[in-house]
Structure 1
Amino acid sequence: MTSCVVQRPGGVCIAVTDLGGDGPVVVLLHGLAGSSRELLRTARALQDHRVLLVDQRGHGASTRLPDDLSRGAFVGDVVAAIEELAPGSRATLVGQSMGAHTAFLAAAARPDLVEGLVMLEGHVSGSDDPREAAGLGAYFASWPVPFRDEAAAREFLGDDAIVDAWVADLQSTDDGLVPRFDAAVMQRTIEAVHEPRWDEWEALQVPTLAIFAKHGMFSDADKDELIRRRPETVRVDLSGGSHDAHLDAFDEWIDVLRGWLSRDQASDSRTIVR
C-alpha cells in the first residue's frame, strides 16, 4: 500500500492510496464528508484488481479548503489520478453518493479512460430545494468541536452506519478531535452536486451498474427515472442497507460489486431487483 499525492491547479493536493497489484484498475470514491478510509474494506476485498482510493478535494488527507469546488474540478482530480498513477490504463470507477456523482461525470467526460462505472446510492437528477444543501452545511457546522475524545464524538453523532467512519477520520489536535472537512466546503460541494445532469447521463457511453440500498435515500420514482432515461444501465436493489450500504450491508454490496467486475463484458445489460 502506497500513499501518493497528485498535484492539481490552485495548489490543491489530492491524496491517493494505491493498494498495488497487476489487475485491472479500480478507483474508489467516497461520499460527502467521508474519506477513502471508509472504503478500505471494499478495496481489500478486490484482490484481483489494482485499487486506487482517492480522498476527494476538501476531504480526508487532501487539501481541506480548495477554492474550486466545481464538479469539473472533482472530475479533473480523478482524471489526473488515473493519468498519473495508472498511465495507459482504463479504470472502473466505483463511487458512493457524492462519489458516485463524481465517478459518473468523470466517465461521461473521459470514456477513453473509463471502462466501467459503479454507482452506489448515487443519482444524477439533483435537487431544486436549496434548503437541502444549507441544512447539511448547518448540521456539520453544529458539531461541537473539538470533541474531548471519541466517546464524546459518538455521544453527539449517534449510531448511524457512517459514524464509525466519521470518528475514525477525526484529527487529533492539542484541543481535542476535529473533523478533516470544513462545513462550508461541504455545503458548497453538495450545492454543485444538486444541479441535474441528465444530458451527461443519457450520453454516457460506458457500462454502468446502479446499486440502491433497501433503506437508502432515493424513492422508487428516482430509481425508475434513472433507468428509464438510460435503459442499458444495470440496476441492483439490495435486500438491506442504508445510504451507507458499503458499511452496513457490506457482504451483499461486495458480492454484487465483485460479480459485476468479473462479468462477461459482452453480456447484455439488465435490471436486477432483489
Structure 2
Amino acid sequence: MSGPHTAWTERTVVRDGVRLVARDHGGAGRPVLFLHGLAGYGGEWDATVAGMCGRYRVVTLDQRGHGASERRPPGGDMSRSAYVADVIEVITALGLDDVALVGQSLGGNTAMLVAAARPDLVRALVMVEAGARGMVTREVDRIGAWLDSWPVPFGSLDAAAEFFGGGPAGAGWAAGLERRAGGWWPRFDAGLMVRSLAGLVRPSFWSEWRRVACPALVVLGESGIIPLDEQREMTSARPGTAMVTVPGAGHDVHLDAPEALRAVLTGFLERHL
C-alpha cells in the first residue's frame, strides 16, 4: 500500500481481543514508532516520515479506537494503561525493541508513559506538543463539545478541510475521514474519544516524566498549547531534556510543518539512536 508520500505495509497486532493496525514503512535502521494524537490516525505522519526509511525502520500506529484499529474496544476501555499496554505489545510483536517513540499530543503522553514504564524497550523519546501536566474536566468538556460540533457527514473532503481551518492541518484532518453512506465520516466514536481523555484528568504526570531514563526531546509549535511555565518546569524537572520550537506551526506541528519537524527529529535521532 502507499500514501501520498511513502510506501507501507499493513501490520496487525491483537492484544486482549483488540485489533491494532500499524503502517510499517520499512527501513533497515533502528526502529522509530510514531503515535498520533486524539481523533487522529497513523497516516497523518506520512509527510513527516517521508525519506526517513533510509536511516530508520519507521512504523506508525493507529491506536485503539482510532483509524483502522479496533473502533470500539471491549468494555469501551480507553484508559491510559490500555494505550500503554497496546504500545508495549506492538513494540514486542513487531520486533521494535530499543525503539525511539515519537508521539504528538495524546500520543506524546502515551509515549512518555511507555518510556517511564519500560526503559528496557525505549531508547529515545520525542514528545510533540505534549507536556507533563494533567487536564481539568472543563478542558475535556470543551474538546467533547468540539467533536460534537462536527457537521457529519461532510459532503466532501474540501468541505471538511475548510471546517478544520484549512491549510495543511485542515487537509490532514480531512484525510483521516472515511467515505460511507451519505458522505465523509470520522473513523472513531466521539464518546470514546472523550473517554480517552478521562485518564488525563489528574494534577500532573511529573513523577512519570522524572522516571524517563532515555534521552528526550520536546517539540513545540510556535503557536502551540504548552504554556511557557510548563515548558520551563519540564526542563527543570528533568535536566538534559532538549526542547525545540518549530516556527509557524501550531499544535499539529506534524501537519503544519512536516519537513521542519523531520529535520528536528532526524537531528535528534542521529545523536541518540
Give the TM-score of the pair, scaled to structure 2.
0.91
1:199 paired with 2:199, answer no
CA shift for structure 1 position 264? 5.7
1:126 paired with 2:134, answer yes
| 3-state SS of paired residue (2:222) | coil
Aligned to 1:153: 160
CA shift for structure 1 position 69? 0.8
Aligned to 1:269: none
Does the CA contact (< 8 Å) of 2:125 and 2:216 recur in 1? yes
Aligned to 1:189: 196
Aligned to 1:80: 89
In structure 2, distance between residues paired with 1:154 and 1:54? 23
Aligned to 1:228: 236
In structure 1, distance between residues paired with 2:80 and 2:39? 16
Aligned to 1:16: 22
Q: Which runs of 5+ in 1 are unaligned?
A: 266-274
| 3-state SS of paired residue (2:126) | strand
Letter in 2 for 1:118: V
1:164 to 159, 171, 191: 171
CA shift for structure 1 position 161? 4.4
The count of aligned residue pairs is 262
Letter in 2 for 1:163: G
CA shift for structure 1 position 215? 0.8
Letter in 2 for 1:102: T
1:3 paired with 2:10, answer yes
Letter in 2 for 1:124: A
2:32 to 26, 33, 36: 26
In structure 2, distance between residues paired with 1:183 and 1:166? 15
| 3-state SS of paired residue (2:243) | strand
Question: Aligned in 2, Cα 1:173/1:239: closer, same or farther, shift over 3 Å?
Answer: closer
Aligned to 2:181: 174
Identity of aligned residues (%): 42
Give the TM-score of the pair, scaled to structure 1.
0.91
In structure 2, distance between residues paired with 1:154 and 1:122? 24
CA shift for structure 1 position 232? 2.0
CA shift for structure 1 position 252? 2.1
Question: Aligned in 2, Cα 1:202/1:246: closer, same or farther, shift over 3 Å?
Answer: same
Letter in 2 for 1:55: D
| 3-state SS of paired residue (2:71) | coil
Aligned to 2:43: 37
| 3-state SS of paired residue (1:33) | coil
Question: Aligned in 2, Cα 1:239/1:148: closer, same or farther, shift over 3 Å?
Answer: closer
Letter in 2 for 1:14: L
Once the two structures are superposed, residues 151-192 of structure 1 have per-residue CA deviations (whole angstroms, 9 ceiling, x without a partner) of: 332343332643212211211112221100111111111221
Does the CA contact (< 8 Å) of 1:166 and 1:179 recur in 2? no
1:237 to 229, 233, 245: 245
Aligned to 2:5: none
Does the CA contact (< 8 Å) of 1:6 and 1:13 recur in 2? yes
Letter in 1 for 2:18: V
1:136 to 106, 121, 143: 143
1:262 paired with 2:273, answer no
1:68 to 62, 77, 80: 77
Q: RMSD between aligned alpha carbons?
A: 1.5
